[in-house]
A and B are shown apart, each in its own frame.
Chain A
């Protein structure tokens, strides 16, 4: 059955999660950032732009988007989480530069991206995808101050704002209005539906008046599969045949053409 791009990416995520079996994968976080990464790749100029997935646990989502955009092959995609492979559970920089940034430890992507963006001023754009839980890490705010000071209008952070982190709801752990915080740091701060590629593209295109920009993308962890949505049990887990079939049936219904 034909599905929309959003459906095909999600199907890739489920296929890979089922394929790896009991070792499991970060299914929930990957389903959350599908549209964010897809929107970036739609705006992306591979000659001069960079994408930094700072929330490394969304790796499978990144690979699935790259697969659907033809950046990585079928063969590469099915090497996900294979021992010694180039597409592990958290991204690892590859020699051929398909993946430029190794991640997994949170709060490191933004300050690194600032170095890239400073060197690429007037030459290329840098996109950073972070989680909202990830913003607990103080190094993000060291970076937020520096990026503003350097007027990096070629730098965009997209926060996958799904309201969940490892131990539960963000608001129950460190309750912060991230919109206000980014504004207070002097960034151009916008917010949109993080599951609308169209809206996200609009936000990415939006001019920034010389400042770095943050797009707070409102998302749902586990988006697209009703029993996974907002349920942290699906943060990292294995996917049985039975659940896989249920999930794919839902995808076909929601994203079928």
Chain B
């Protein structure tokens, strides 16, 4: 596929829309791909897939546990099922089914979590997914992918369509998803990508937060602080080597649209602790109790995840 040519269209569609378009393209060449929706076909961007491949598309009803178990049965018969629904339902409602079929039995189901983090905006706290990485990360066998932009979504879907193991693909951000990668590149699962170089501070980010991290790096640059920005698209397995190779920074910042407990910040902190890191780790993510909901932008602001808020916290930390 020509990812570069489609990049602008992907960006307008957002990660969810891109997923639907790319899965449809992949299915033309790969008969094993099956789409499964828990009654969110259009919302998942799967209507085109459902129309083009009615024999390979299932709406199992509003029944996420069933979606995962059904997919596991199909996977054990050589199909490659993609179960698509909002991340909260995909990972939390079906959690034990993911553990049983994907982690324990190793069935090659692809769970695609849509609208992760605060992307569901005014749908509110029931629809936010800020615990999803945490609950999946503690289970063995499951690869967790969190693409930073729509081209990376396309590349992750391409990977999933050829991989027979279990994957959780976490889609984040809104429509008009900022472009991080303008040019085509090679995505290596489990290997982080250095987006910009800098010697003073290092910023690790995943999913929607990578573009925010790049903007934070610009604000820091204006203050003469040179930040290195790393895109961690694979949260599990985490790129331990890259983290260990970059432990000579006095401050390491992690950014995720997810709880600070159990997600990217935790994964990086665990690795740093193992290699006797002596600096400070600043985990930017969701903390504390559920807040009254609002729009995506409002929630990002409330949780201190905008570029200005993160910049301020880093400056405070540097001044401390």
- Which residue among A118, A120, A142 has the maximum number of chain B CB atoms within 10 Å of its CB? A142
A108 to B70, CA, bound (A): 9
**Nearest 8 interchain pairs by C-beta:** A115-B73, A111-B69, A119-B77, A142-B66, A142-B63, A116-B73, A115-B74, A115-B70
Q: Is the CB–CB distance between B77 and A112 below 8 Å?
A: no
Supposing A119-B78, A119-B79, A142-B63 touch, asked if A112 and B69 sit within 8 A by C-beta, the answer is yes
Q: Is A93 an interface residue (CB 8 A)?
A: yes
Question: Which of chain B's residues have a CB closer than 8 A to the CB of A117?
Answer: 73
State A110–B60 Cα separation when bound (angstroms): 14
Residues of B bordering A, CB below 8 Å: 58, 60-61, 63, 65-66, 69-79, 81, 96-97, 100-101, 104-105
Whether B61 lies near A145 (C-beta < 8 A) is yes
Q: Contact at B65–A112, with CB atoms within 8 Å?
A: no
Complex Cα–Cα for A155 and B197 (A): 58
A118 to B56, CA, bound (A): 11
For the complex, give the distance between the alpha carbons of A45 and B98 in Å: 30
User: Mostly helix, strand, loop or mixed at chain B's interface?
Assistant: helix
Excluding A115-B76, A116-B73, 13 further A-B contacts by CB distance (< 8 Å) are A102-B104, A108-B97, A111-B66, A112-B72, A115-B69, A115-B81, A116-B76, A117-B73, A118-B74, A120-B77, A139-B69, A142-B60, A142-B65
Contacts of A120 in B (CB 8 A): 77
In the complex the two chains form, is A115's CB within 8 Å of B61's CB?
A: no
A139 engages B66 (CB within 8 Å): yes
Known: A112-B72, A119-B74, A143-B69. A102 touches B105 (CB 8 A): yes
- CA A135 to CA B61, docked complex, whole Å: 19
In terms of DSSP, what is the predominant structure of the interface of chain A? helix
Which residue of A102, A108, A120 has the most chain B CB atoms within 10 A of its CB atom?
Answer: A108
Chain A nearest CB: distance from B111 CB in Å?
A: 14
Total chain A interface residues with beta-carbon distance under 8 A: 23
B63 cross-chain contacts in A, Cβ below 8 A: 139, 142, 145-146
| Contact assessment for B77 and A115 in the assembled complex, using a CB-CB cutoff below 8 Å | yes
Q: A115, B65: Cβ atoms under 8 Å?
A: no
B60: which A residues are within 8 A, CB to CB?
Answer: 142, 146
Chain B contacts of A139 at CB under 8 A? 63, 65-66, 69, 97
A119 cross-chain contacts in B, Cβ below 8 A:
73-74, 77-79
CB distance from B185 to the nearest CB of A (A): 36
Q: Is A113 an interface residue (CB 8 A)?
A: yes
Contact with B along A143-156 (1 / 0, CB 8 A): 10110001000000
Q: 1/0 per position for A20-64, CB-CB distance to B under 8 A?
A: 000000000000000000000000000000000000000000000
Q: Chain A contacts of B73 at CB under 8 A?
A: 111-119
Q: How far is the CA of A105 from the CA of B95 in the complex (A)?
A: 13
The reply to whether the CB of A248 lies closer than 8 angstroms to some CB of chain B is no
Contacts of A146 in B (CB 8 A): 60-61, 63, 66, 70
Across the interface, A102 reaches (CB within 8 A) one of B65, B70, B96, B100, namely B100
Most interface-central of B60, B69, B81 (chain A CB within 10 A):
B69
- B-chain residues with CB within 8 Å of residue A100 when the two chains form the complex: 76
User: Using Cβ atoms and an 8 Å threshold, which residues of chain A touch B101?
Assistant: 108, 112
Q: For A139, give the chain B residue with the smallest CB separation.
A: B65
Minimal beta-carbon separation of A127 from chain B (angstroms)? 13
A113 to B74, CA, bound (A): 9
Identity of the chain A residue whose Cβ is nearest the Cβ of B62 in the assembled complex: A142
Whether B70 contacts A105 by the Cβ 8 Å rule is: no
Cβ of A107 to closest chain B Cβ, rounded Å? 8
- Residue on A with the closest CB to B76? A116
Q: Chain A residues with Cβ under 8 A from B77's Cβ?
A: 115-116, 119-120
Which among A117, A118, A145 has the highest number of chain B CB atoms within 10 Å?
A118
Residues of A within 8 A of B97 (CB): 108, 111, 139
| Chain B hits for A111, CB < 8 A | 65-66, 69-70, 73, 97
A110 to chain B: closest residue by CB: B69
B94 closest partner in A (C-beta): A139
Distance in angstroms between the alpha carbons of A111 and B77 in the assembled complex: 14
Interfacial chain A residues near B72, Cβ < 8 Å:
112, 115
Contact with B along A181-215 (1 / 0, CB 8 A): 00000000000000000000000000000000000
* Residue in B closest to A111 when the chains form the complex, CB atoms: B69
Q: Are B96 and A114 in contact (CB under 8 A)?
A: no
Chain B neighbourhood of A101, CB < 8 A: 105
Chain B residue at minimum C-beta to C-beta distance from A117? B73
- With the chains together, A118 CA to B58 CA distance in Å? 11
Q: Which of A130-145 contact B (CB under 8 A)?
A: 139, 142-143, 145
